[in-house]
Structure 1
C-alpha cells in the first residue's frame, strides 16, 4: 500500500511540475534557513558546557553604589575567592583571572611577538575549568611565580614542538617565564579564550587584600547539591566582616553611616553557562552575545518555516478544483476517506523529503559563507551524528504532516455528487482559512521588514553617532611603553613626519577598553557624602587635541604650566555629580593608599582646570559615567592624528621611526575607527544575518503569493476570457486578480504594525543611546510589503490578462 501511495505521489508531482517546483523550492529555502539558524542557536547555547562541573561553577559579580555612581560589574575584590573557600564549606575551589596591564611580548628569534590572549590565573585554574593538559601537572603548574601554561599551538609557534616543559618564554626582553604545562586549545564555545595563562603569584597586586577595589574575575565551584540562592545570603556577612571594615578604615565612618549615605556593596553569583548570553557588565573577560538574538533568530526560523508550510497549504487547497474530479471519481469507485488522507499526507511528506534533501545541499554550500558572516566555525556532518539524522527525519515528517494535514482533510472531504456537478470550483475565492494564512504570512514578513529597518538604523546610528571624540584618521600604535625614556624622542620623530598633526601617549584611549575606577572626594576628610566614583585616567597634554575633544569650560593641560601636575579635567558627568555651579578651581582629594585613612600624609590634592565634553569610552549600551583626566605618564599606546592622502606611505614612515627607536620590537598598529567598530562586531554581524534571513522569508512568501495568483488565474480563465471579449482591458483584469490579495496585505499591515512597534521598542531599550522609533519605519515597511505583493501578483496576473481569450474558452 505504501508503495502505491509513493508511486501516485511522484506521478502527481510530475504532472504538476510548476506547482511542485514552487512548493519544493519554498519548503527547501524555509528548511535550509531553519537548519542554519538551528546550528547557530545550538552553538550559542552550548557555551561553557564543555566544563565537567559547569552546573556547579559560578562567577562572583559586584553590584556597587558609591559616590552617586552605580556599577554592575563582572568583577570582585582580590581576596573574595580565598575568603569564601576558607569561611564556607560549600565552596570547593575558586580561581581568579586578571588581564596584564601591558601587552605580553614574547621573544622569537630576533624579534618580539605580541600575544593578546593572555591571563593571570590562580594555580587552582584546573580545579575549576576543564582544560585537558597534555604535559605537566595541573596541581602544581601555576603555583610558582613567573611560570606559564600554554596551548599546544603556542608551543609549536615558539618551539616547533609540544615537548617544552622546563623551557622558558622571554617576555618583554627582561623576564623569563618557565613553561610548566601544555594544554589543548580551548573550545571555541567558551566565554573566554586564552592561549597563555600566567601564574597569579607573578602579579603583586593579587596579594594586596584590597576589598574596596573590584579588579578580578572570580569563579567558585560549589559542592553538588548546594543552593546558590541560599549561598548568596552569606555575602551580607562577607560585606559586613571585610568590605565595610576596610571602608571604615579608609573613610572613618561606621557601617550604618555608609548605608545611610545611600551606598551599598553587594555580591551575587552568576551561573557560568549563562554568562555568554545573559551578561554584559563592566569588566567582562570577553565579548559576550545576547539572549535576545537567540530568541529573535529562533522566532525567525519558526516563522520562515511556517510561511513555507502555509504556502504548501494554500497552494494545495487552491488546487482543489483541479483535483476535485480525481477525488470524486476515486470515492465513487470505493476509496475510503482514510485512504485519501493517507495518500495526500504521503504526497506532502514526499515533497518535504525532497525539500529537505535540497535544503541540506543548500546548507552545505552556504555554511562557509554563514560562518564568515557570523564569525563562527560551525562544522556539521549531517549523516555522521545519530541525533542529527533523527532530527532531520523528525523535522521532515513534522513539516510533511504540518503542511499536508489541512489539504488532506480538506480535499478528502469533497462529496462526489457536488464534485461531479462542478460545484466545488467556487470554493477557491471563498476560503476564509486561506485568506487568514495569507494574512499570517504577510504579518510575519512585515514584522521582519520592520525589525530589519530598525536594527539596521540602530547599527548605523552607532557607527555615525557623535561620541565626543573624532575617531577618524587616528592611527593607534601598541607597545609604546617599551620605549621607556625614549617616549619624548619618539613623539618628536613622529611630529616631523608630513601628515602627522598631533600625537598623544597614554594607555587610556577611549577604544582601548582600559578602566581604572576609584573615588574622588570634595573634602580632605574623605567624607563619603563628598565622594564621587570616577574613572581616573593618566594622559598627556596632547590627549584632548589629538582626539578632537571639546573643552566646554576652562582649559586643557599645558606643558608650560608646572602647576598642572596637580590639575584635573573632568567630563560633564563628573562635573554634574559634584553639584558645583562653577567647578573650575575647586579642589578634589584622593587617598594615596585606600587602606591608610585620611592622615595628612595620605592626601593627594588636585584643582579642577577644565570640563571636557562627555565622550563614550565604553559600549553605547551604557551611559557615560564620571571620568577624571590627570596629567601623568602612561604611554602604553600612542594615538596619532593624521591628515594625508597617502596613508600607506605615512604608515611606512612611522614604522621606520619605530624600528630606529625599537629594533626587534613588533610594529603593531590599528585605526581607532576600526577599534571602535570592533566593539560592535557582534551586533553588526547579527544585523547582517537578520537582514539575509528577512529577505529569505519575503522570498518564500512571494513564492506562495505567486503560486496563488497563478492558480487564481487558471481557475478564472473562462471568466477572464469572457470579460476580455466583452471589452475588459488588461488593466481591468490585473486589478481584478490582484485586488483580493492586496486587501489581505493591507489587513496584515494593520495587524503587524503595532506588534512590530512594541517588539522593536523593547529591543532598543537595551541601548542607553538609541534611535527614536518613528512611524515612518512602519509606513516604509507597509509600503515595501505592498509593493512586493503587487509586483509578485501582477507578474502573473498580466500574463493571464494578455492571454488569447479564445484558447481559454475552447477548453470549456
Structure 2
C-alpha cells in the first residue's frame, strides 16, 4: 500500500511540474531563511554559556542619579570585589578585569603590532572557563609582572618555541612581563576578548581603597541556585558604609540629605548571561560593544513568519491545483477509498515535497552562509554531518513542516463530494474561501509591516548621515598613532602646516567619532560644591576648534599668545545650561576634581562652543569642557581633492623619522559611519529578509489567483460573450485581492507604527514617522499584489470564450 502511495505521489508531483517547482522553491527559501536566522539567534543567545559557572556569575555595575545626570557604568571601584567577598558569605569568589588598551609588544627586539591587554586578578581563570594550554591556573598570576598569552599570540610571537619563562616588553608602558602560561584562544561568543592578561599585582592603583574611581569590571561567583536579587537588596549597605563618608566630605551633605534631593548612587548585579544582550551601558564603559535582545526578538519573529508564510504558500498552491485532482478524488471515493486513505496519500505527497525542499534549503544555507557571515560580522557554521542530534532535529523539523503545510490541503482535498467532482466541478464553500483569504491577509500583514519597518530603518540611517553634528566631519584625516613619533610629532605637525593642501592641523587624541581618548572628571560651579556632577574633558590646543569646524557662540577660543589660558576653559552649551548660566556663562568659575583625595583645580570660562555630537545619536549631548592641555595624535583639515597625493606625502614625511611604527590614518567621516555599522547591517539584513518574505508571499498570492481564475473560467467566458473587455475582466479578477491587501494594510499600519516607535526610542535624536511612509508601504504592497495577480488575470481574460464555455 505504501509503495502505491509513493508511486502515485511522484506521478502527481511530476504531472504538475510548475506548481511542484514553485512549491519546492518557495518552501526551500522559507526553510533556508528560517534556519539562517535561527543560527544567528542561537549564536546571540549563546554568549558566555561556555563558562562552567555561567549561571552563578554576576557582574557588579554602578548606577545612579546626581544633579539630574543619570550614571550608568559597567565598571566599579577597585575595592568592590574584595569588600563584597569579605562582607557577604554568599559570595564564593570575586575577581576583576581592568582593560588597558593595545600596547605594542617587543619580543627579542622585534616589535609586534598592538595586542589587546588587560590586568586580571590571580583567580580570574578559576572563575571563567578559559582552558590552560600551558601553566598552572592557580599560580600563574600570583606574582607581579607575570603575564598569560593566548595560543594565537604564542604562535605569532614564538612560533613552535615554548613561550613559558620568556619575557615580553610592553613598549608603550615600558614594562617587562614574564610569561607564566598560555591559554586557549577566547571563544567568539565571549563578552570580552584580550590577547594578553597581566597580573593585577603589577598595578598599584588596584590596591587603592578609594571608592571614587570606577575602572574595574567586577564579577562575583554566588552560591549554586542563589537568587542574586537577595544580595542586590543588601548592597545599599555597602554604599552607606563606604561611599557615604566620601559624599559627605566631597559635597558637604550627608547621604540621606543627598538622597532627599533626588540623587542616589548604588551597586547592582547583572547575571553573566544577560551582559551581551541586556546591557544599556555606553561602549566606553563596556569591555566590548554589546548586542541587543530586541534584534533577537525581531529576527526570531521574522524567522517564524517566513516559515509560516512558506507553509501558507504550500496550502494555497495545493488548493489552487485542487480542481485538477477533483475527478481523481471522486473516482477513488466511488471505488471505496475512505477519507483516511486519501489524507494519508496527500500527506505523503506533502512529506515528499517538503523533504525535497529541505534538501534544497540545506544547500541554500551552505551556499549563502558565508555571505551572511560577512554581512552580519558573525562566524556562523552549519556542519550537521558529524552531529546526530542536529540530523535528528532537521528531520523532525522537516516532518513538522510537512504536517503544518500539508494538513489543510490533505483535509481539503479529501473532503470533496464524489457527485460534484465527477462532473468536474469543485464547489467552494464560503468557509474555505474565507480561510484562504485570511491566509493571504496574514501574509500581507507581515509583508506590509516589513516594507514599513525597512523604510523607517533607512529613513533613520539617512537622518543620521545628514544630521548637523556641530562639527565638520568631511575632509578630516586622523593620525592617532602620531604620539609614537615622540618629539618628532611636533616636527611632523609643523611640516604638514606648511603644505598648501592642508588647511590646519591640531594635536589632540580626543575625537567626536571613532576611537578616542576618554576623560571624565567631577566638576562643580563657582563655590557650589553641592552641585557636583561629572563632565567629559577634552584636552585640546588652540587649533582644535577651527580645525574641527566647530563654532564659538559666546566668548573666544584659546589663544597662543596668552599663557593664562592654561587656567581657562571652554564649555559646551549643554554644560552652560546644566549649571544654570545659559548665555551668561563667560566669566564664571568651574572647579575640577584632579585626584581621589578631593584635590581641585579652578578654571575661568572664556568661551562657549556650540553643542556638537561627541557621542552616538543614541545618547543625549552631555556636559563637556575643553582645557588647553597637551595631547597627542594629529587631526588634519584637508583643502584639496588630491587626497591620495597628500597621504603619500604624509607617509614619506613619516618614514623620514626612521620610526619602526607603520603609517596609519583614518577619515573622520568613515569613523562616524562605523559608529552605526550595527544599524546599517541590521537594515541590510532586514531588507534582504523582507524581500524574501514578500517574494514568498507573492507565490502564495499567485496560487490563490490561479485557483480563483480556474473556478471562474465559465463566468469569464460568459462575460466575454456578453461584451466585457479585457480590462474589465482583469479588474474583476484583481479587485478581490486588492481588498485583501487593503485589509492587511489597515491591520499592518498600527502594528508597524508601534514596533518602529519602540525601535526609534533607542535614538535620542530620531525622525518622526511621516504619513507618506504608510502611503509608500501600502502602494508598494498593492503594486506587488497587482503584478503578481496580473499574469493569471490577463491569461484568463484573453482565453478563448468558446473553450471557456466548454468547461464542465
TM range (shorter): over 0.9
Aligned to 1:393: 395
* 1:70 partner SS: strand
Match for residue 666 of structure 1 among 662, 666, 679? 662
* 1:92 partner SS: strand
Which stretch of the first structure deviates more once superposed, 92-101 or 53-62? 92-101
Tell whether the 8 Å contact from 2:319 to 2:707 is kept in structure 1 after alignment: no
Aligned to 1:518: 521
Aligned to 1:782: 778
- Is residue 313 from structure 1 mapped to residue 310 from structure 2 by the alignment? no
Unaligned runs of 5+ in 1: 597-601
Aligned to 1:470: 472
- Is residue 568 from structure 1 mapped to residue 563 from structure 2 by the alignment? no
Tell whether the 8 Å contact from 1:61 to 1:268 is kept in structure 2 after alignment: yes
Which stretch of the first structure deviates more once superposed, 690-699 or 194-203? 194-203
* 1:201 partner SS: helix
Which stretch of the first structure deviates more once superposed, 426-435 or 495-504? 426-435
Cα separation, partners in 2 of 1:10 and 1:44, compared to 1, 3 Å: same
Q: Determine the C-alpha separation between the residues in 1 that align with 2:605 and 2:389.
A: 65
Q: Determine the C-alpha separation between the residues in 2 that align with 1:427 and 1:457.
A: 45
Q: Determine the C-alpha separation between the residues in 2 that align with 1:483 and 1:253.
A: 48
Cα separation, partners in 2 of 1:178 and 1:502, compared to 1, 3 Å: farther
Match for residue 496 of structure 1 among 495, 498, 512? 498
Aligned to 1:150: 149
Q: Determine the C-alpha separation between the residues in 2 that align with 1:406 and 1:584.
A: 76
Tell whether the 8 Å contact from 1:532 to 1:577 is kept in structure 2 after alignment: no
Q: Determine the C-alpha separation between the residues in 1 that align with 2:79 and 2:436.
A: 66
* 2:324 partner SS: helix
Aligned to 2:625: 628
Which stretch of the first structure deviates more once superposed, 87-96 or 173-182? 173-182
Cα separation, partners in 2 of 1:662 and 1:121, compared to 1, 3 Å: farther
Aligned to 1:361: 363
Q: Determine the C-alpha separation between the residues in 2 that align with 1:542 and 1:180.
A: 47
Aligned to 1:231: 231
Q: Determine the C-alpha separation between the residues in 2 that align with 1:595 and 1:533.
A: 16
* 2:464 partner SS: helix
Aligned to 2:104: 105
Tell whether the 8 Å contact from 1:516 to 1:535 is kept in structure 2 after alignment: yes
Deviation string, structure 1 residues 373-399 (Cα, Å, up to 9, x no partner): 111111111332222212211211111
- Is residue 615 from structure 1 mapped to residue 612 from structure 2 by the alignment? yes
Q: Determine the C-alpha separation between the residues in 1 that align with 2:378 and 2:338.
A: 52
Tell whether the 8 Å contact from 1:289 to 1:682 is kept in structure 2 after alignment: no
Aligned to 1:583: 585
Q: Determine the C-alpha separation between the residues in 2 that align with 1:230 and 1:428.
A: 59
Tell whether the 8 Å contact from 1:356 to 1:396 is kept in structure 2 after alignment: yes
Tell whether the 8 Å contact from 2:485 to 2:659 is kept in structure 1 after alignment: no
Tell whether the 8 Å contact from 2:145 to 2:176 is kept in structure 1 after alignment: yes
* 2:113 partner SS: strand
Cα offset, 1:482, TM superposition = 2.9
Unaligned runs of 5+ in 2: none
Could you say what the CA RMSD is over the residues aligned between the two structures, in angstroms?
2.0
Q: Determine the C-alpha separation between the residues in 1 that align with 2:425 and 2:805.
A: 19
Q: Determine the C-alpha separation between the residues in 2 that align with 1:331 and 1:645.
A: 81
Cα separation, partners in 2 of 1:94 and 1:666, compared to 1, 3 Å: farther
Q: Determine the C-alpha separation between the residues in 2 that align with 1:542 and 1:205.
A: 34
Q: Determine the C-alpha separation between the residues in 1 that align with 2:604 and 2:570.
A: 9
Aligned to 2:166: 167
Tell whether the 8 Å contact from 1:565 to 1:632 is kept in structure 2 after alignment: yes
- Equivalent residues in 2 for 1:37-186, closer than 5 Å: 37-100=37-100, 103-107=102-106, 112-161=111-160, 163-172=162-171, 174-186=174-186
- Is residue 16 from structure 1 mapped to residue 13 from structure 2 by the alignment? no
Tell whether the 8 Å contact from 2:59 to 2:270 is kept in structure 1 after alignment: yes
Which stretch of the first structure deviates more once superposed, 158-167 or 303-312? 158-167
Tell whether the 8 Å contact from 2:569 to 2:627 is kept in structure 1 after alignment: yes
Tell whether the 8 Å contact from 1:22 to 1:704 is kept in structure 2 after alignment: no
- Is residue 375 from structure 1 mapped to residue 377 from structure 2 by the alignment? yes
Q: Determine the C-alpha separation between the residues in 2 that align with 1:373 and 1:731.
A: 45
* 1:268 partner SS: strand
Tell whether the 8 Å contact from 2:63 to 2:71 is kept in structure 1 after alignment: yes
- Equivalent residues in 2 for 1:237-636, closer than 5 Å: 237-282=237-282, 283-422=285-424, 424-427=426-429, 431-511=433-513, 512-524=515-527, 527-528=529-530, 530-581=531-582, 582-596=584-598, 602-635=599-632
Which stretch of the first structure deviates more once superposed, 556-565 or 250-259? 250-259
* 1:85 partner SS: helix
Tell whether the 8 Å contact from 1:67 to 1:519 is kept in structure 2 after alignment: no
* 1:55 partner SS: coil
Which stretch of the first structure deviates more once superposed, 189-198 or 364-373? 189-198
Cα separation, partners in 2 of 1:516 and 1:443, compared to 1, 3 Å: same
Q: Determine the C-alpha separation between the residues in 2 that align with 1:644 and 1:624.
A: 32
Deviation string, structure 1 residues 216-262 (Cα, Å, up to 9, x no partner): 22112112232200111221111011112222233343222322333
Q: Determine the C-alpha separation between the residues in 1 that align with 2:735 and 2:109.
A: 76
The count of corresponding residues between Structure 1 and Structure 2 is 803
Aligned to 1:599: none
Q: Determine the C-alpha separation between the residues in 1 that align with 2:249 and 2:313.
A: 72
Cα offset, 1:513, TM superposition = 4.6
- Equivalent residues in 2 for 1:652-663, closer than 5 Å: 652-661=648-657, 663=659
Q: Determine the C-alpha separation between the residues in 1 that align with 2:202 and 2:480.
A: 23
Tell whether the 8 Å contact from 1:713 to 1:797 is kept in structure 2 after alignment: yes
Tell whether the 8 Å contact from 2:38 to 2:300 is kept in structure 1 after alignment: yes
TM-score by length of 2: 0.96
Aligned to 2:642: 646
